């Protein structure tokens, strides 16, 4: 069973979850060019002989299988290359930053989810930033979504300080004109 997402457009390409980033697409384009060169060399050495498909990477084999492509046909190879270049140049890229390195299976699931719900040709890059503590930060071409633990702590800092003060039996501190002072020192007017 394929986990690839089919596009509405019949000329579009179904991408497997193993094809994640622009780097993966660029690598696939280079591999396809090498396969094309191999077929040309076979034709020059043995004119009229049936071409033998060289060994392929898992990603290229998955694209061929999911899209019913026969690489022995030079027009199919040219069309596939054109589609891959188009994806590399114009597909939306979602960057996800994690606190620690993400497991490949998790990234594959995220890619499948993003392609199913956001854009069928979306590419994903991942990064690592330990200071976000936990969670992730998601950057799309026009938005940043901060789902990090660091942001959660920052957003609830006042409630945390107040709860800590109550737990320690201390007077809560408040912000007054840029200075933090105990609440008991602030004169409240009526």
pLDDT tens, position by position, 20-75: 999 999 999 999 999 999 999 999 998 888 888 899 999 999 999 999 999 999 99
Which residues on adjacent β-strands are paired with residue 123?
Answer: 93
Number of structural domains in the chain: 3
The span from the CA of 44 to the CA of 40, in Å, is: 6
Backbone angles phi, psi at 93, to 5 degrees: -115, 130
Residue numbers of the domain that contains 40: 22-90
Per the document, the length of the chain is: 190
- Residue 181: inside a domain: yes
Does 158 score more than 90 pLDDT? no
- Residue 84: inside a domain: yes
Is there a single domain that holds both residue 62 and residue 97? no
Q: Among 48, 74, 90, where does a domain finish?
A: 90
Does 3 score more than 50 pLDDT? no
Strands across the sheet with 123-128, in order?
123-128, 93-98, 136-139, 144-146
Q: What is the mean pLDDT of residues 101-113?
A: 92
The span from the CA of 121 to the CA of 92, in Å, is: 7
Backbone angles phi, psi at 100, to 5 degrees: -140, 170
Is there a single domain that holds both residue 86 and residue 115? no
- Residue 171: inside a domain: yes
Lookup result for tokens 């990090």: 148
Is there a single domain that holds both residue 65 and residue 125? no
Residue 15 is given by DSSP the state: B
27's tokens: 């690598």
Lookup result for tokens 């789902």: 147
Is there a single domain that holds both residue 81 and residue 28? yes
């Amino acid at each position: 069973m394929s986990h690839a997402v089919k596009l509405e457009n019949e000329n579009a390409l179904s991408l497997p979850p193993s094809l994640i980033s622009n780097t993966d697409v660029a690598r696939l384009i280079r591999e396809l060019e090498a396969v094309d060169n191999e077929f040309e060399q076979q034709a020059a050495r043995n004119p009229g002989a049936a071409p033998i498909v060289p060994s392929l990477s898992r990603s290229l084999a998955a694209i061929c299988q999911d899209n019913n492509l026969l690489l022995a046909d030079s027009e199919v190879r040219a069309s596939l290359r054109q589609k891959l270049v188009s994806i590399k140049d114009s597909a939306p890229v979602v960057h996800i930053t994690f606190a620690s390195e993400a497991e490949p299976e998790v990234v594959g699931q995220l890619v499948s989810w993003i392609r199913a719900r956001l854009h069928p040709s979306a590419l994903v890059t991942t990064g690592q930033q330990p200071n976000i503590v936990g969670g992730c930060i998601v950057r799309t071409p026009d938005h940043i979504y901060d789902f990090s633990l660091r942001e959660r702590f920052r957003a609830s800092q006042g409630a945390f300080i107040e709860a800590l003060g109550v737990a320690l039996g201390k007077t809560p501190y408040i912000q007054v004109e840029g200075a933090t002072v105990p609440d008991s020192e602030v004169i409240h007017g009526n």
